[in-house]
Amino acid sequence: MKRMLLAGLALGALAAATAAQAADKVTLQLKWVTQAQFGGYYVAKDKGFYKEAGLDVTIKPGGPDIAPPQVIAGGGADVIVDWMPSALASREKGVPLVNIAQPFKKSGMMLTCRAETGIKKPEDLKGRTLGVWFYGNEYPFLSWMAKLKIPTDGSAQGVKVLKQGFNVDPLLQKQADCISTMTYNEYWQVIDAGIKPENLVVFKYEDQGVATTEDGLYVLEDKLKDPAFVDKMARFVKASMKGWEWAREHPKDAAQIVLDNDATGAQTEKHQTRMMEEINKLTVGSDGSLDEADYKRTVATLLSGGSDPVISKEPQGAFSHVVTDKAKTLK
């Protein structure tokens, strides 16, 4: 009996080891540092959703010196989180990125101005100094200025573009009249610095009709020719969306999971909880599939960049529903 018990335990251990060994490895490269912006992925890993899907997922944080398209092109990731303007620009330059899923339904980008500057409407931006993020984040802004017919050459009838770091210092130190912010992050840094909401004027890109698609999941095009890879990505997307759904239902707990994964210790509970609540507003309404209307709006916005468009022609094959269609068939 003892031998049978030991043999059973050995077989059980072997089966567990085989199952663990059989888990498909997936490396996800984030667009930015560990924070609630990527809460759904950390939740999916922490709550075992990826494991249940037969996946062993590694989540790699991003940062100011990390460009996701370069990482995946160099073989450092299977899938990346990127904004569509950056992804489409990279595709035109030779990195064949394809959007396979779109967890974010809405854009969180906006321009935040001090009310004391007298800026009340977009036309008032002429002659002002505006803080703008680069590294692929400048594209929606440039398209917006082109739509308004406001030059970005620093002239009296144009705007002076200040290359903004990923902070709010230019507004606090009055180096810029307005700065780039996200609804879920930098805007609240301004508030926490002591400026009241009524002393700010914000222009949401969604309201201005130039919002572009943010935080989509992208892979290299040739990978989609492999049915095994498509199956792996379908399981990854389904488990990730389960993570986003859980995060919407448990924002405080989701924020804590993010904090538990922040190796830098730079994030705070207050900020991450608030960010998670704001991020959840952007993922509502998405089942993971890219809405073609959102894609077309983004492309139209990017093509309207005047003399310096983000992309020079309408992309072909830049998105695919093959992964999300398969994900919908999974139990």
- Among candidate residues 137, 295, 305, 132, the one with its CA nearest the CA of residue 216: 295
> What is residue 166's predicted lDDT score, i.e. its pLDDT?
86
Type and span of the H or E element at 160? strand 160-163
Q: What tokens appear for 182 in the block?
A: 């996200």
DSSP label at 175? S
User: What residues contact 207, with CB distance under 8 A and at least 6 apart?
Assistant: none
Domains of the chain: 23-106+213-327 (3.40.190.10), 109-208 (3.40.190.10)
Q: pTM (2 decimals)?
A: 0.87
Which residue type, as a one-letter code, is found at position 17? A
Q: What tokens appear for 129 in the block?
A: 């100094």
Is 46 in contact with 58 (CB distance < 8 Å)?
no
Type and span of the H or E element at 293? helix 292-303
Dihedral sign for Cα 89, 95, 100, 102, please.
Answer: negative
DSSP string of 212-278?
Answer: ---SEEEEEGGGGG-HHHHHHHHHHHHHHHHHHHHHHH-HHHHHHHHHHT-TT----HHHHHHHHHH
How far is residue 157 CA from its own chain's centroid? 33
Which residue type, as a one-letter code, is found at position 254? A
> What is residue 111's predicted lDDT score, i.e. its pLDDT?
97
> What is residue 18's predicted lDDT score, i.e. its pLDDT?
44
What are the beta bridge partners of residue 292?
Answer: none
Q: How far apart are CA 46 and CA 24, in angstroms?
A: 17
- Burial grade of 2 (CB within 10 A; 0-12, 13-18, 19 or more): exposed
SS3 annotation, 39-87: HHHHHHHHCCHHHHCCEEEEEECCCCCCCHHHHHHCCCCCEEEECHHHH
SS3 101: strand
Is 157 in contact with 126 (CB distance < 8 Å)?
yes
Is 215 in contact with 81 (CB distance < 8 Å)?
yes
- Chunked into runs of 10 residues, the chain (331 residues) has average pLDDT values of 49 47 92 97 98 98 93 98 93 97 96 98 96 83 89 92 95 98 96 97 92 96 98 98 98 98 93 97 96 93 72 94 97 85
What are the beta bridge partners of residue 178?
Answer: 113, 130
> What is residue 110's predicted lDDT score, i.e. its pLDDT?
96
Is 190 in contact with 181 (CB distance < 8 Å)?
yes
Look at the block and give the residue holding tokens 């992964």. Answer: 323
> What is residue 75's predicted lDDT score, i.e. its pLDDT?
98
Q: How far apart are CA 189 and CA 212, in angstroms?
A: 23
